[in-house]
Structure formats: structure tokens, C-alpha cells
Structure 1
Amino acid sequence: MTKILVLGGGPAGYVAAGRAAQLGAEVTLVEAREIGGTCLNRGCVPTKAMVAGAERLHEARRGADYGVVTGAVSLDFDAFMARKDAVTSRLRDGVAHLLRTRKVEVVTGRGTLAARGRIRLEPGATLPDGTVLAQGAELEGDAVILATGSEPVRMGLFDWDDPRILTSDELLHIDHVPASLAIVGGGVIGCEFASVFNRLGSEVSVVEMLPQLLPGEDQRVGRTLQQSFKKAGIAVHVKTAVESAEGGGAGVALRLAGGAEVVAECVLVAVGRRPVSAGLGYEEAGVEVGPGGFVVVDETCRTSVDGVFAAGDVAGPPLLAHWAYHQGAVAAGNAVTGSRLEVDRSVVPSCVFSSPEVASCGLTEDRAKAAGVEHEVAGVRFNGNSKAVCDGDADGFVRVVCEPGGGRVLGASLVGPHVTELVHELALAVHRGLTLEDVAGAIHAHPTLSEAVAEAALAGVGRGVHSV
């Protein structure tokens, strides 16, 4: 029986372990912290639980707009955070159950790559039978899958001994709603936390060095989100670098390029993530590690060492859990069977759970222009969508990029209500090579938000009745 060793129990690691077990391998997974990795414990899941709670608070406060008399609405922050922890625990237990069901052996402790097919366990590691290693040990297998993930970047500009300077890891465990929160970095993490803490009652400022929020998205998307933030009372400083940070009795003072200053009780530093690859024996074992510390892999998730694979954040962008799932499954298939399955980079949806939500897939308008790809854009705004107006949440748009003449769908950008769900119809269209006419020809129920996708397609083929 093929024996597979997996180093890291996040999305890439546990999916790789589960898939390898499905394929008949004997699998041992080594995880230094909690099963589920960053996504489940310090990222996607707890932040979305906070987004859900903040949304309920926002809806309750707007009750009068719908004729609902709610009385005084307040936040029980301890209960709010306890729910976040309960959601995380429930889903973590679910992953652990899946691994047990598939007979994956889980070792809790720090492991390093000793050589091809070997992982060294450090003293203190706990084996599946509960034995705690006093002197460490080595595991041997036919192949190793590296899935050690990523961690927040800590800029040297800040005093990390000051408890008011936080990464996303620490902010997820804060014990109160800060009166004011300055966020350095207007990417996905920064924008999601900006929306959450704005709704919880913090005075929020976002400082982004690049010309727009969400620099990886189209300019139109960044502008729209910035306008929504301004409407919500979030201060946004784009094209602005932080030159210094000083802690004092009044809070942390950020001096910005141009002379402006932002003073806040707490500062979230959300300037990106870096791979967890240093000190784990990768390079010593011959594994090529590229710029920034990412493990170099080919399209089959193979590294420079035969029998050593890598998947997830440690293997480079995009640093997304769903991409890690995909890579983990591909790596496992190749590790167990020796095949050459390749990852599919053609359409990897991006979703941002800010307020409003943002999503994209495939070739967006700006990317198409930059690549010199001939294209057309079909779009509608949500302010003409009946369901969005009924819900009282009608800001934003759907823009679909296609080949000229209503041809093959190439990608899309969306801003607005529940677009993190709506984007997948368009992702499927890109994946299957559907045309704009194909999307337009599918009847969409009324009144639904998904009609915005159909209306955009209908407008693009010259049959849009509900848009001008």
C-alpha cells in the first residue's frame, strides 16, 4: 500500500490527506496547531462568522426602514465572539471527523522535511494513539505533500510589542470593540474587517498605498467600494503610505505621506501574507524555494525533488482556500498514482465579504485590456433589480466580459448583494466555454438577484428590456 505523508493540516493538507486515503493510500498528516489551518481557525471561517453577526446587527438597526419597531438594539460582544468560536469549533470538529472516517492518522506537533519521503517529528509531538514523543521521531513514506500555509506579514515599521498593533490573528481574539481602528492595507482582509468593525461601532480608517481599494480587482470595483465605504462613514486614504507609527496615551498615531495623521485605539496591519517555509528543512532536502519563500511547483504540484509535492499557500498565489483545495486534490492524485494531473488555473473565483460584497472570475475588463484581448463588456446595475430593491440593498453592478459579438464568456466583475454567490454561474460559464447567448437564453426566476446576471447577458446580446 502506498504511504503518503502530509505536512500541514489546512485546506490543502487535509484535502490532500482525504483524497489520498480515498485513492487507497495509507496517510499520516502532521499539523503543528489546529486541524483546518489558517482558513478554518484564523481566516475564512471566523471572519465570515463575524461578518454574519455584524450583518444581523446592521439589519436590526435598520428595522424601522421596513416598518419593524425594534426598540433599542445593542451588541453583546462576548456573545458575538463566542458564536464565532463555536462556529469555528463545529467546523473544525467536522474536518477531524472526516479524517477519522477515512482512517487518516493525525500527528499533532511540529514536523520538518528530513529528506525525500521522510518527515522528522520534534519532541513533544503527539501520536494518534496519544503517545507524546520525548525525543522526536521520523516518519517514512513513499511521497510527501508540503502544505504548511502562510502567515501575516509583520512590517518592521511597527512596534510589535505594543498590544494595540494587531495582525488579523490577534484581531480575531480582541476582547472589545475598539473606539477607533486604523487599518493599514486595503486588500481583502483589510476591507472585510473595515466593514465588520464599522458596523460594530468603531471609527474606521483604511490606509492603502496603491491607487485603489482591492488593488487586484478592476478600477471600477475599487471606486465603487470606496464610495460605499465613504457612505458608511469609513475614512479611506488611497495612494498613501504610512511613514511612521508611534504609540501614546491617546492611541497609536500613524503619520501618512503628505503630512496627514490618523490616530486610533488599535491598528490592524493587513499588508499581505507570507509562506510558512523557513526552518522546515525544505531547502536542505533539495526543494527549490523561490522569491518570497514560496515553494516552486509545476502544474502537477511537483517540486524539484522527486516524490515531494506542495500545495496551498506555501506553493504561491493565489492564496485562496478553494485554490488550496484544488491543488491538494491534484497533488494527492499524482502522489498516489504517479499520474500527471494538472491544476486548472482558467477560472479561480475571488470573493470579498465586505459591505458591499465583491467578486470576480476569469478575465475581467481591466485584465482583458492589459492583455490586449479583444472583448466586449455587458453590464447592469442592481438598482434596477426588483429583489435588490425589495431587500433595500441595491448598490453595485454585474459586468460580464465576453468575446466580441456576444461570444464566449471570458470573465466577470461584480459588486453588490450576495455577489459572492452569484459569481459562480459566470465562473461555470467561463469553465465550460459558454457564450453570452447561452447565459442570456437561460430563464432566471423573478424576482431574484440572479436576474442581474441574466439581464447583463441580455443587454450584451441586444435584448435587454430592463436596462438602458
Structure 2
Amino acid sequence: MTHVAIIGGGPGGYEAALVAARLGAEVTVIERDGLGGSTVLTDCVPSKTLIATSDLITEVEGAAELGIEVPREIRADLAAVNERVKKLALAQSDDIAHRLSLNKIQYIKGSAHIESPGVVVATTDSGPQRIEADSILLATGAHPRVSPEAQPDGERILTWEQLYELRELPEHMIVVGSGVTGAEFASAYNGLGARVTLVSSRDRVLPGEDADAANVIEDVFKRHGMQVMGTSRMATVERRGDRVLVTLTDGRVVEGSHCLLALGSIPNTEGLGLDKAGVEIGDGGFIQVDKVSRTTARGIYAAGDCTGVLMLASVAAQQGRIAMSHLLGDTVRPLDLGNVASNIFTAPEIASVGLSQVEIDETGLQADVATLPLAANPRAKMQGVHDGFVKLFSRRGMGIIIGGVVVGPRASELIHSVSLAVSASLTVDQMAEAFTVYPSLSGSVAEVARRMHRQV
């Protein structure tokens, strides 16, 4: 029986463990913080739970358009919200522990490092534990990046892992960083009722996303009272009593009650013994892996944020599953990032899959593009939805769908049909011919495809 030691119990680790156990391996998972890792305990699950509350408030505040009277101002009880957030995160972690137990997977709570090829040492409360394994999977995740000029104190200056200890809604939250994390939390706290200032070093929010989608989001932010400071780079963040001062490189100072640092992530690779094991580290400290999750060291795989491949829970889980299938001789398809669907949980959401406009332009690929505003959709009109669109990209002359973007409420659900089309290389005509419900937001996906029909 093959013995697999997995360091890290996030999506990359626990999904790998389940596959390995199903394929007949003996599996040991070592996780220091709790099963589910940061994804479940301090990152994805908590943030999306918080956002769900914010989204509900936003929907209720727009109820007047649908003929519903809202008698008073709606505000969130942040203490109750955060208690719910933490309770749901722990419940999800317990569910994972139960699944591992049902599959007879050993779980050790503690930190770990590779002592030598095939030997992992777990440091637990009861002392070190030596584990001999035929193969090792590293799924150690990442943690928030901070700056020497902006040190979090856990009370007023915060990373996204520390937000859930807040008991009262910030009077004025300054969010530094306008990438996915910064935009999501700026949107969430704005929806919860806080005054929000978003400091962006680039000329627009979400600089890595579809430009049309980012412009919609920035317009919505500003319309809802958020101050968006473009081309503004943070120099320092300091606390003075119950106030926080964010000084920009051009000398301007932004004063608020709290500051969220959304400056990116650093992989958790220190102290793992990677040099001794022969595991190569690349730029930014990320573990180098190939498309089946192998590192440069024989018998050692890696998955998830510690690899920097694409920092999504779904990608981490897929990397872990691929690694174990490859290791244990099952059928395996190498990781294909061209088929990854992703979502940004702002209000409205941005979902995308396949090639982007930037990638199409950079490669010179001949492609057709069509966009349909959601405001033209009958269901959207009924629901009072004004912002958003559906955009599809297809290969010119062939009509094969190669990518798409959806901006709107529950875009994370609407993108699935586009994801199926991209992964199965469907044409716009095949997409258009599939029935959709009338009226429905998904009808806009078929309508865009219909408009891309090329008569033969």
C-alpha cells in the first residue's frame, strides 16, 4: 500500500487525500490551523458569507423600485454577522474532518517539514511525530502580504484574516489595494453601510480583469457613494488612537477609522525543508510544478496557492486531485488553465472563463466578440437589475466559443453554461439552439450567441 503524506489541509490537501484514499493509498494529512485551511477558516468561506449579508442588504435597499416600502434604514449588526461567519467556517471544517474520517484518512493537527526524502516530521502539542511516506504532497497555501510601512495591529489596521473579530461596523474603512480581494471587501463593507475609500495604485479597479467589466464595477462603486482613488499608491499606514492615517506617495493623507490591507499573498513555503528535499522555488517563493503537480523532487507534488499557478480554491482542489491520480496510476488529464471559471464576488459579480480580450489581443487570434447589456433582458427588468452584461468570444470563421464574461447578480451561476461551451468546444450556434427558460437571465447568454451566428 502506498503511503501519502499531505502537508496542508486546504482544498488542495483534503481533495487530494480523498482521491488517494479512494485509489487505495494510506493517507496522512498534517494541518496546523484546522481542516479546510485558510480557504475555509479565514479566507474564501468567511468572506463570501460576509458578502452574502451585504448582498441581501443591497437587494432590500433596491426594493422600492419593485413597489416594496422599506420603513427604516437597514444596517448590519457586524458582531452578529461575524459570529455567523466564524460559526459557518468551523462547521465547514468539521464537515471536512468527518469526510476524511469516513475514508479512514489520518489527520494530525500540527505543523510539518520534510526531514529527508520520504520522511515528514509533524510538530504537534504532544511532541514531534515521524511519518515515513512513499510520496509527499505540499498544499501549504499562502498568507496576506504586509508592508514594513503598514503593519497590521488586528484592531484598526487589518489583513483580511483579521476582519472577523470586528464587533462594530467601521465608520470609514480605507481599503488599500484594488485587486480581487480589495474590490470584494470594498463592495461588501459599502453594502453593509460603512463609508469606504478604495485606494488603487492603478488607473482603475480590478486591473487584471476584463476592462468593460471593471468599468461597470467602478461605476457602481462610485454611484453607491464609495470614493475610488485611482493611480494612488500607499506610502505608509499608521494608527493614531482610534483613527488611521494612510499617507500616499504624492503626500496626500486619507483619514479613516479602519484600514484593510489587500496587498496580495505570500506562499507558505518557509521552514518546510524544501532546499534539503530538492524542491525548486521560483519567483516570489512559489513552488515550481508541472501540469500534473510534480515538483522538481522525485515523489514530491504540490498544489494550491503555494504554487502560485492560479490562486483559486477550485484550481487548488484540481491540482491536488491530479497529483494523486498521477501518483497512483489513475487516468489523469493535465491541468488546463484555459478552462478555469472564476468569479469576483462584488455587487454585481464578475464571472469569466476561457480566453480574455487581453489574451486574444496579445496572441493576435482572430476572434469575434458580442456583448448584450443585462438591462435589455426581460427578467432583469422585472428584478430591477440595471448593471451588467454578457460577453462571448468565438473563433472567427468557426464560431467555436473560446471565452466569455458575465457581469450581474449571481454571475457565478450564469457562467456555467459558458464554461461548458468552452470546455466542450461548442459553437455559438450550438449554444444558441439550446433552450433557455423565458424569462431568465440565462436567456441573455443564448441571445448573445444567437447574435454571433454567421450565415453559411
TM > 0.5 between the two? yes
1:236 aligns with 2:228: yes
1:454 is matched with 446
Contact 2:16/2:320 (8 A) holds in 1: yes
CA distance, structure 1, for counterparts of residue 252 and residue 452 of structure 2: 45
CA distance, structure 1, for counterparts of residue 254 and residue 214 of structure 2: 22
Structure 1 residue runs of 4 or more that deviate by more than 6 Å after TM superposition: none
Describe how 1:429-444 pairs up with structure 2 within 5 A.
429-444=421-436
- Compared with structure 1, are the counterparts of its residues 443 and 220 closer, same or farther at alpha carbon in structure 2 (3 Å cutoff)? same
1:445 aligns with 2:440: no
* Residue 149 of structure 1: how far off its partner (Å): 0.6
TM-score normalised per structure 1: 0.93
1:92 is matched with 93
AA aligned to 1:156 is: P
- CA offsets, 1:270-325, max 9 Å, x none? 01111100111112221111111111111111111111111111112210000011
* Residue 423 of structure 1: how far off its partner (Å): 1.1
CA distance, structure 2, for counterparts of residue 327 and residue 458 of structure 1: 35
CA distance, structure 1, for counterparts of residue 274 and residue 168 of structure 2: 40
Describe how 1:68-79 pairs up with structure 2 within 5 A.
68-72=68-72, 73-79=74-80
CA distance, structure 1, for counterparts of residue 317 and residue 429 of structure 2: 32
Describe how 1:5-404 pairs up with structure 2 within 5 A.
5-72=5-72, 73-124=74-125, 133-134=126-127, 136-161=128-153, 163-249=155-241, 251-337=243-329, 341-404=333-396
CA distance, structure 2, for counterparts of residue 110 and residue 244 of structure 1: 33
Q: Secondary structure at the match of 1:50?
A: helix
CA distance, structure 2, for counterparts of residue 340 and residue 378 of structure 1: 35
**How large is the RMSD of aligned CA atoms in angstroms?**
1.7
Q: Secondary structure at the match of 1:168?
A: coil
Q: Secondary structure at the match of 2:339?
A: coil
CA distance, structure 1, for counterparts of residue 124 and residue 11 of structure 2: 25
* Residue 155 of structure 1: how far off its partner (Å): 1.6
* Residue 75 of structure 1: how far off its partner (Å): 2.8
- Compared with structure 1, are the counterparts of its residues 339 and 289 closer, same or farther at alpha carbon in structure 2 (3 Å cutoff)? farther
- Compared with structure 1, are the counterparts of its residues 250 and 144 closer, same or farther at alpha carbon in structure 2 (3 Å cutoff)? closer
- Compared with structure 1, are the counterparts of its residues 18 and 171 closer, same or farther at alpha carbon in structure 2 (3 Å cutoff)? same
Contact 1:183/1:207 (8 A) holds in 2: yes
CA distance, structure 2, for counterparts of residue 395 and residue 341 of structure 1: 38
* Greater mean deviation of Cα atoms: 323-332 or 389-398: 389-398
CA distance, structure 1, for counterparts of residue 183 and residue 124 of structure 2: 40
Q: Secondary structure at the match of 2:162?
A: helix
* Residue 339 of structure 1: how far off its partner (Å): 7.3
Q: Secondary structure at the match of 2:24?
A: coil
Q: Secondary structure at the match of 2:278?
A: coil
CA distance, structure 2, for counterparts of residue 342 and residue 117 of structure 1: 25
1:127 is matched with none
Q: Which runs of 5+ in 2 are unaligned?
A: none
Contact 2:9/2:34 (8 A) holds in 1: yes
CA distance, structure 2, for counterparts of residue 430 and residue 173 of structure 1: 41
Q: Secondary structure at the match of 2:413?
A: helix
AA aligned to 1:30 is: I
CA distance, structure 2, for counterparts of residue 186 and residue 168 of structure 1: 13
* Residue 258 of structure 1: how far off its partner (Å): 3.6
* Greater mean deviation of Cα atoms: 254-263 or 384-393: 254-263
AA aligned to 1:59 is: E
- CA offsets, 1:320-361, max 9 Å, x none? 000011101001112223877522222111200101111111
Q: Which runs of 5+ in 1 are unaligned?
A: 125-132, 464-468
* Residue 99 of structure 1: how far off its partner (Å): 0.7
CA distance, structure 1, for counterparts of residue 66 and residue 333 of structure 2: 53
* Residue 74 of structure 1: how far off its partner (Å): 4.1
Contact 1:388/1:417 (8 A) holds in 2: no
TM-score normalised per structure 2: 0.96
* Greater mean deviation of Cα atoms: 156-165 or 345-354: 156-165
- Compared with structure 1, are the counterparts of its residues 446 and 300 closer, same or farther at alpha carbon in structure 2 (3 Å cutoff)? same
* Greater mean deviation of Cα atoms: 15-24 or 93-102: 93-102
- CA offsets, 1:43-99, max 9 Å, x none? 111111111111222233333333333433443222222221222122222111111
Contact 2:76/2:193 (8 A) holds in 1: no
- Compared with structure 1, are the counterparts of its residues 385 and 233 closer, same or farther at alpha carbon in structure 2 (3 Å cutoff)? same
- Compared with structure 1, are the counterparts of its residues 240 and 74 closer, same or farther at alpha carbon in structure 2 (3 Å cutoff)? closer
* Residue 376 of structure 1: how far off its partner (Å): 0.8
Contact 1:206/1:236 (8 A) holds in 2: yes
Q: Secondary structure at the match of 1:420?
A: helix
Q: Secondary structure at the match of 1:284?
A: helix
Number of residue equivalences? 454
Contact 1:406/1:460 (8 A) holds in 2: no
CA distance, structure 1, for counterparts of residue 191 and residue 292 of structure 2: 43
* Greater mean deviation of Cα atoms: 59-68 or 363-372: 59-68
Contact 2:204/2:215 (8 A) holds in 1: yes
